[in-house]
Amino acid sequence: MLEEIKQTAEFIRARTGDFRPEVGIILGTGLGGFGDRIEANYTLDYHEIPDFPVSTVEGHKGRMIFGRVKGRRVVAMQGRFHYYEGYTMQQVTFPVRVMQQLGIGYLFVSNASGGINTSFRVGDLMVITDHINLMPNPLIGPNLSELGPRFPDMHNCYDRELIARATEIAEEEGIKLQYGVYVGGTGPTFETQAEYRYFKAIGGDAAGMSTVPEVIVARHMSIPVFGVSVITNCGLSDEAGDHEDVQRQGRKAGVRMELLFKRMIKSL
Ligand code: HPA
């Protein structure tokens, strides 16, 4: 596994003129538009990259963009891998391992989710303050001790300083933020009404099918994480979840998320 990670990083370095990204960004459903507006130096489709899975979900483009955001060197993943697509947790999190080898010092993650906090509205941006993992843990198996400890601490999983900075920037820009706990389930079904109630009862504010594996692996390697979730539907309402709605709401809220990410990246 470590060998594959290193080989893939080596391949990417060779293809990107030794571009050393400072920040990794993962763009979720409907949020890929940000990637199109990065001043790109290099772009690699996932299918060109050895040992990378290929994203199968509509609305996910499937490429890595190496470029600059407000002068900072970034690598953005336009499209991610989900457990429900049939990949192993090692495959889902492989890109984060590779980004760490390329040199990232921060990971910014984004996703679309169903709000279960009844004060949330469709289109809200929720800063992820913590998560509850209801998927298999991606660190199950032999520990890659060169990268991190067997029993990683998960306090401050979503970096408190970065959250405080987001609050300041959002106030300056007039962006409304919600804050909450993201519950990561496997999908691909949206939750039943009883499951949304259960997620709420155990302390969740939003339900999704991604992000948690990547964040666990980033924290295993001590990379500070900042995460934002776009609330694309309200789980406890009577309306059915729908992937097209999720994509549309993602695109709309993505404009605000992009502004927040850009200003945060500039401030690092
Ligand atoms: N549940 C799970 N994942 C989601 C949802 C949801 O309601 N909305 C967007 N992604």
The domains of the chain are located at 2-267
How far is the C-alpha of 165 from the C-alpha of 22, rounded, in Å?
18
- DSSP secondary-structure letter at 56? -
CA of 185 to the centre of ligand 1 (A): 9
CB 138 near ligand 1, within 6 Å: no
| Alpha carbon of residue 84 to chain centroid | 16
Residue 212 pLDDT > 80, yes or no? yes
- Find the mean pLDDT for residues 185-204: 97
Q: Which has the closest alpha carbon to 169: 66, 265, 96? A: 265
Query: Distance (Å, rounded) from C-alpha 239 to C-alpha 143?
Result: 43
Q: What is the largest CA-CA distance in the chain?
A: 52
Average confidence (pLDDT) over 211-230: 98
pLDDT at 58: 60
CB 264 near ligand 1, within 6 Å: no
Residue 71 burial (CB count, 10 A): 8
Q: State if residue 135 touches ligand 1 by the CB under 6 angstroms criterion.
A: no
* Phi, psi (rounded to 5 degrees) for 222: 65, 25
**Which range among 50-54, 149-153, 192-196 shows the weakest confidence by mean pLDDT?**
50-54
Q: Is the CB of 206 under 6 A from ligand 1?
A: no
d(CA 123, CA 261): 17
| Band of pLDDT at residue 60, cut at 50, 70 and 90 | low
Judged by DSSP in three states, 69 sits in strand
**What atom of ligand 1 comes closest to residue 209's alpha carbon?**
3
Q: Which two tokens stand for residue 174?
A: 């007039």
Residue 45: pLDDT above 90? yes
- The protein residue whose alpha carbon is closest to atom 3 in ligand 1 is 208
Region 175-201: mean pLDDT is 97
Query: 119 CA to middle of ligand 1, Å?
Result: 17
> Which secondary-structure segment (H or E) carries 81?
none
Q: How many CA atoms lie within 13 A of 20 on its CB side?
A: 2
pLDDT band, residue 59 (cuts 50/70/90): low
Q: How confident is the model at residue 252 (pLDDT cuts 50, 70, 90)?
A: confident
At 135-187, the pLDDT tens digits run: 999 999 999 999 999 999 999 999 999 999 999 999 999 999 999 999 999 99
Confirm or reject: Cβ of 191 under 6 Å from ligand 1. Answer: yes
Are 31 and 257 spatial neighbours (Cβ–Cβ below 8 Å)?
yes
The answer for residues whose C-beta is within 8 angstroms of residue 253's C-beta and 6 or more apart is 123, 124, 125, 230, 231, 232
Residue 251: predicted pLDDT: 76
Q: How far is the CA of 242 from the centre of ligand 1 (A)?
A: 9
| Ligand 1 within 6 A of CB of 114 | yes
pLDDT category, 57, cuts 50, 70, 90? low
55 pLDDT tier (thresholds 50, 70, 90) = low
When pLDDT is cut at 50, 70 and 90, the band that residue 246 belongs to is confident
Give the mean model confidence (pLDDT) for residues 183-207. Answer: 97
Percent over 90 (pLDDT), the chain: 82
User: From the CA of 92, how far away is ligand 1's center (Å)?
Assistant: 18
Is pLDDT at 103 greater than 60 in this prediction? yes
197: CA distance to ligand 1 center in Å?
14
- Please say whether the beta carbons of 133 and 216 come within 8 A: yes
The CATH class of 2-267 is: alpha beta
Average pLDDT over residues 113-129: 95
Over residues 222-250, mean pLDDT: 85
